[in-house]
Amino acid sequence: MNEVALWRRLVAELLGSAFLAAVVIGSGIAAQRLSPGATGLELLENAAATAAGLFAIILMFGPVSGAHFNPVVSFVDAAFGGLSWRDAAAYLPAQVAGCILGAIAANLMFAQAAVSISAKHRATPAHFLSEVIATLGLILVIFALARSGRSRSAPAAVGAYIGAAYFFTSSTSFANPAITAGRMFSDTFAGIAPSSVPAFIAAQILGGALAVGVIRALYPRLTPAEASDIIFPRHTSPAGAAQRRGSATAAAGRLPGQDPSH
């Protein structure tokens, strides 16, 4: 579906993931220094920077790779035919490597050791449930917008959802195995101890699997063309453009509130 060369998409995923990790971890370090001891304010600063940064990063790299920056997003996209399984598998190491590089960059920008393994233990049943729900919600936001022809709203919607999920989940909504791996390498406000990582990643995978089932139930006619336009519309072929025009026409013909799956 995507006409951009795979190597260009992998570079975009690596750089986008690196920027994402740098934003998450760097803003966490800054918040810790600017508001020492005020945990709520630290979290607010971290969440606001992450939400705004994610919006901008999606706009930067979305036209090239679709701005996944998240293996769960990539593999769910593959499950709906929007991305090949081969490409999803290629995205994964680029996303993980990018998040690790971003963590190192964040550490260095604040004059810390390039790598410091986090000692912040987060693995509890409440955190596990939070990561399942956070990941489920993230995937539903992304695919609901694609199915209803509103992918252009996704950069803002994804940023807003993650910013909100910092507060309504006890885990502060990692919702991403790649960023979870990257955050191990910074013993700071946003870090996570290696011993907590397997539980978080398992919860995120479970959340993604549940999201596939919910999407199939709510949007049974989700097409591969719509799936390939998640997060950032990037069709350039005449067929893709025609499908978008057809979807827009169909949406315009529906009554307000009518279920687009029918």
Backbone angles phi, psi at 134, to 5 degrees: -60, -45
Under DSSP, the state recorded for 184 is: G
- C-alpha distances (whole Å) from 179 to each of 1, 93, 99, 166, 260 are 26, 12, 6, 14, 33
SS3 of 168, please?
helix
Distance CA 251, CA 177 (A): 35
Query: Where in the chain are the domains?
Result: 6-234
Residue 81: C-alpha distances to residues 113, 119, 207 (Å): 42, 39, 19
In whole angstroms, give the CA distance from residue 35 to residue 113: 22
Please give the Cα distance from 72 to 92 (Å, whole number).
9
Per-residue pLDDT in tens (0 to 9) along the chain, 262 residues:
458 999 999 999 999 999 999 999 999 999 999 999 999 999 999 999 999 999 999 999 999 999 999 999 999 999 999 999 999 999 999 999 999 999 999 999 999 999 999 999 999 999 999 999 999 999 999 999 999 999 899 999 999 999 999 999 999 999 999 999 999 999 999 999 999 999 999 999 999 999 999 999 999 989 999 999 898 876 443 334 444 444 444 444 444 444 444 4
Entry pTM: 0.87
> How many other CB atoms are found less than 10 A from the CB of residue 43?
18
Q: Which residues contact 217 (CB under 8 A, 6 or more apart)?
A: none
Give yes or no for a contact between 31 and 45, defined as CB atoms under 8 angstroms apart.
yes
The matching CATH number, chosen from 1.20.1080.10, 3.40.50.720, 3.40.50.300, 3.100.10.20, for 6-234 is 1.20.1080.10
Asked if 9 contacts 61 with a C-beta cutoff of 8 angstroms, the reply is no
- φ, ψ of residue 259 to 5 degrees: the values are -70, 120
